[in-house]
């Protein structure tokens, strides 16, 4: 039996790690492969942005799922103190007394192995397999392997294969800029975004793909239009454009859910709808959408709140909340209703005036259908009407009988 052992910080695991294991597995045909995250790497400190060990183990488990016969092990996380390889191999030898343990390492690890803690123990307990991370160092690797064979009687496998030049440091630097998605396994990327590890922000193409999967196909153009409008309004009013885009992409994410599904989500997230909200699936989706998106995509709280208020509005909304509310109302796919042209113009001239107009329009629509408007909408319109009076700004002229857009 052969057990391939691959240790590291896996902070996070990336396609270079996957490629290394795949090359080793093809060459050595192990019966089992272990990815072992280090609790305290003895040769380098973890990044200040590193998540807790349990998170790195979870990512290693996801990465292991990409490789047949591979699993993640917490053997080093269970120990206190530095994660010395010799201690790990002792434990694995007890677990696999008759197996050939093969310790997979990169070029630099092979060249410095004799400076490690108990190198002779490492080489007595396991064979070494080196994957050349850089081309052009074959002679250097072979010389080091020959030295270890001669000095320690070690078994050293030198693996050939095109290396993937990527590092965890590089990945961590790219993630906050919405980049680096292609450098980690898909499952690992989803986990990083869900937990917002390393200050990561989602690649927008990825977020759209995942969010649109929850929508009815006919709603996708509306969400696309809302994102475009939210970006434009955010740029106009000095609001973070990316925040506006994230909120717009997920603002209708639970609208497809049935009434019963909405109630289940409310219970799950500890939401207690009022009587008016219970009477309307449209109002329920604005309650559940933010927490749903936060659970799946790590949407931060200020974006959750922008989703929360995009249907009814409320007094004293933040600029981001107002932008999402208005973008949902005036996005390019909206057409054919009274006051739309005036509202589009106001949205780029005066946010208070635009909110007052949008809320008046919403209240008129609800009342025309014989429904009771939500109190939040009523008080929001009163709030913005008062704001305009205090500023000495006249409201935008509009009546339901105005010309169609």
**What is the predicted pLDDT for the residue at 94?**
96
User: In 3-state terms, the chain is what percent helix, strand and coil (to 5)?
Assistant: 55, 10, 35
pLDDT in tens, 192-221: 999 999 999 999 999 999 999 999 999 999
What is the C-alpha radius of gyration for the chain, rounded to an integer number of angstroms? 29
Longest dimension (CA), the chain: 94
The topology under which CATH files domain 2-186 is Rossmann fold (3.40.50)
> Each residue of 348-375: pLDDT tens digit?
999 999 999 999 999 999 998 888 999 9
Average pLDDT score over residue span 258-272: 97
Cα(349)–Cα(10) distance, rounded to whole angstroms?
A: 50
> Which pLDDT belongs to residue 161?
74
Segment 48-94, tens digit of pLDDT: 788 999 999 999 999 999 999 999 999 999 887 888 999 999 999 99
Percentage above 70 pLDDT, the chain: 96
46 by DSSP, 3-state: which? coil
pLDDT at 143 over 50: yes
Both tokens of 177, joined, read: 């800029």
Distance CA 235, CA 372 (A): 35
pLDDT digits (tens, 9 = 90+) for 43-56: 666 777 889 999 99
pTM: 0.91
Domain 203-391 has CATH 3.40.50.620: no
The model's confidence at residue 164, banded by pLDDT at 50, 70 and 90, is: confident
The better pLDDT of the pair 81, 122 is held by: 122
Segments of the chain assigned to CATH 3.40.50.620:
2-186
Residues 381-405 pLDDT 10s = 999 999 999 999 999 999 876 444 3
Residues of the chain with CATH 1.10.3210.10: 203-391
CB 118 within 8 A of CB 93: no
């Amino acid at each position: 039996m052969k057990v391939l052992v691959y240790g590291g910080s896996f902070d996070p695991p990336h396609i270079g790690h996957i490629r290394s294991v795949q090359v080793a597995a093809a060459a050595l045909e192990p019966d089992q492969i272990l990815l072992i995250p280090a609790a305290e790497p003895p040769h380098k400190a973890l990044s200040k942005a590193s998540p807790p060990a349990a998170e790195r183990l979870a990512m290693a488990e996801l990465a292991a799922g990409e490789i047949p016969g591979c699993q993640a092990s917490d053997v080093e996380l269970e120990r206190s103190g530095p994660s010395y390889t010799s201690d790990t191999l002792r434990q694995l030898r007890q677990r696999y007394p008759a197996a050939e343990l093969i310790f997979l390492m990169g070029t630099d690890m092979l060249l410095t192995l004799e400076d490690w803690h108990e190198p002779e123990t490492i080489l007595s307990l396991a064979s070494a397999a080196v994957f050349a991370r850089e081309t052009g160092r074959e002679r250097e690797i072979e010389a080091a392997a020959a030295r270890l064979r001669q000095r320690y009687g070690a078994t050293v496998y030198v693996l050939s294969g095109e290396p993937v030049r990527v590092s965890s440091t590089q990945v961590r630097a790219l993630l906050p800029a919405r980049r680096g998605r292609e450098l980690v396994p898909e499952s690992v990327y989803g986990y990083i975004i869900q937990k917002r590890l390393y200050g990561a922000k989602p690649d927008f193409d990825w977020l759209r793909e995942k969010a649109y999967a929850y929508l009815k196909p006919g709603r996708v153009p509306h969400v696309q239009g809302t994102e475009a409008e939210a970006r434009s309004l955010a740029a106009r009013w000095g609001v973070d454009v990316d925040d506006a885009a994230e909120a717009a992409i997920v603002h209708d994410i639970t609208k497809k859910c049935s009434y019963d599904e909405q109630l289940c989500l409310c219970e799950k997230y500890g939401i207690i709808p009022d009587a008016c909200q219970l009477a309307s699936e449209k109002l329920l989706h604005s309650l559940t959408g933010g927490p749903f998106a936060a659970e799946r995509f790590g949407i931060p709280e200020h974006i959750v709140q922008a989703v929360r208020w995009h249907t009814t509005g409320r007094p004293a909304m933040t600029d981001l909340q107002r932008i999402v509310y208005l973008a949902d109302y005036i996005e390019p796919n909206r057409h054919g209703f009274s006051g739309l042209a005036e509202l589009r113009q106001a949205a780029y001239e005066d946010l208070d005036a635009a909110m007052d107009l949008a809320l008046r329009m919403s209240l008129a629509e609800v009342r025309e259908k014989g429904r009771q408007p939500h109190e939040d909408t009523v008080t929001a319109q009163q709030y913005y009407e008062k704001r305009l009076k205090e500023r000495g700004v006249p409201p935008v002229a509009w009546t339901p009988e105005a010309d169609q857009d």
